[in-house]
Structure 1
Amino acid sequence: MKKTLLCSALLLASLSAGAQGVFTLSSPDFNDNALLDKKFAGATKGNPSCTGENVSPALSWQNLPAGSKSLALLVFDPEGAKGLGVSHLVAYNIPATADGFAQGDLTAGKGFTGGKNSPGNNHYHGPCPPAGSGAHHYVFTLIASDLPPDALKAGLTREQLLAELKGHALGGAGIVGRYGND
C-alpha cells in the first residue's frame, strides 16, 4: 500500500510539474525563423539601409518559470557590424504580470526600462542590414528573473544587463525573425 501511495504521489507531482508547460515567446506578426515585414525594419533618414517604419512587432509569452518577478527582452543581430553583432533592443524591469507587448509598444518605450542599444537609444530600433549582406537573423530573447521589476537602473547596455542577470536568471525563451535589404 505504501509503495502504491508513493508511486501515485510521484506521478501526481510529475504531472503537475509538466502541467505548467514550456516557457515560450511568440509573435502574431511573424513565425520563428520567418522573414519580418518591412514595417518592422528601422527608419533612419539618410541611411539607405533603414527604410522601414520602425514599428516593433507584437510579442507574447506563456508559462513563466516559477519564482519569476521580472523579465528582460533583448533583440540582437549576430551578423550585424560585420559579425560583431548589433543590439536592437535592451529592455528590462518588465513585470512578471505582463504577458506581452502590442505592436509598436517597444518602439514607444511602453512597459519597460530602456537600456542602451547599439544605435544609442533606449527603445526598439528595427533591422537595417546593408544591401547585399543577405538576410540577417534578429534574435528576440526573453529572460525571466527573480529580480523585482524596479531593481535595475535605466541605460544598461546588453553586456551590463547580462552581468546584472547572472545568478538571477530563471529561464529564457526566444524567437528569430530574418530581414534583408537585397
Structure 2
Amino acid sequence: MRVASALLLAALPAASFAANPLFTLQSPDFTDNAFMAKSFAGNNKNSPACTGENISPALSWSNAPPETKSFAILVTDPVGGKGLGVTHMVVYNIPATTTSFARGDLTSGKGYTAGKNSPGTRGWYGPCPPVGSGMHHYNFVVIATDLPPEQLKADLTHDALLTQLKGHALGAASLVGRFSNDPQQ
C-alpha cells in the first residue's frame, strides 16, 4: 500500500503541492499590530484628540490574485465612535499596476478615487481617539478586484463601496496599526 501511495504521489505534478503566495499588506512605518507614530494622527483644530499631522503611512502589497484589475483600500477603527466604528479612509479604482503608496500619498488624492470617510472628508483622516478611550486598532485592508480602474464613481462611503464590490472581490490582505491618545499607553 505504501509503495502504491508513493508512486501515486510521485506521478502528481510538483505544482499541485506548491501553495499560492500569500497576498500581503505591509508598511515600512509600522509592523502589524504595532504603534503608529503621532504624525499619522488626524489634525483638526476643533478637536483636542486630533493633534497629529494627518500624514498617511506608506503601504505596499504583494502577491495579489493574478486576475486583479484594480484595488481598494479601507481603514477602519471598529471601536471608534463609541463602538459604532469609524472609517478613516476609503480609496479605490487603484490600477493593478500600483503596489504601493509612499508616506503622504493617500493624503494627497493622487493615484486613486477617493470615497468619503466617517468625518465626510476624502482620503486619509488619521486617528483621533478621545483621551481616556484606551488603545484603538486601525484595520488597513487592501482588496483586489476584477473591476477595471475608474469603474466606480467618486465619493462612495465605506458601505456603498462594499456593496459595489460584492461579486468583484478576488482577495484581501490586512494590517493593524494601534494608536492611543492616553498618556499611559
> TM-score normalized by structure 1?
0.93
* Structure 1 runs of 4+ with >6 Å offset: 3-6
Identity among equivalent pairs (%) = 62
Amino acid of the structure 2 residue aligned with 1:138 = Y
**In 2: Cα distance, 1:10 partner to 1:164 partner:** 40
CA deviations on 1:27-79 (whole Å, 9 max, x unpaired) are 00001011110000000112100000000000000100120100000000001
Change (3 A) 1:14 1:135: same
**1:28-177 residue pairs with structure 2 within 5 A?**
28-177=28-177
Displacement of 1:101 in angstroms is 0.4
Displacement of 1:135 in angstroms is 1.2
Question: Which residue number in structure 2 is paired with residue 13 of structure 1?
Answer: 15
- Structure with greater Cα Rg: 2
Change (3 A) 1:9 1:26: farther
SS at match of 2:172: strand
Displacement of 1:7 in angstroms is 4.8
CA deviations on 1:59-102 (whole Å, 9 max, x unpaired) are 00010012010000000000111000000000000011111100
**In 1: Cα distance, 2:71 partner to 2:7 partner:** 39
Query: What CA RMSD, in Å, does the superposition of the two structures yield over aligned residues?
Result: 1.7
SS at match of 2:66: coil
Q: For structure 1, which runs of at least 5 residues remain unmatched after alignment?
A: none
Q: For structure 2, which runs of at least 5 residues remain unmatched after alignment?
A: none
SS at match of 1:82: helix
**In 2: Cα distance, 1:163 partner to 1:6 partner:** 45
Amino acid of the structure 1 residue aligned with 2:94 = I
> TM-score normalized by structure 2?
0.91
CA deviations on 1:121-150 (whole Å, 9 max, x unpaired) are 111000000000011110000100101011
Amino acid of the structure 2 residue aligned with 1:114 = A
Matched length: 178
Amino acid of the structure 1 residue aligned with 2:112 = F
**Higher deviation after alignment, 139-148 or 4-13:** 4-13
**In 2: Cα distance, 1:40 partner to 1:156 partner:** 23
Amino acid of the structure 1 residue aligned with 2:82 = K
**In 1: Cα distance, 2:133 partner to 2:117 partner:** 21
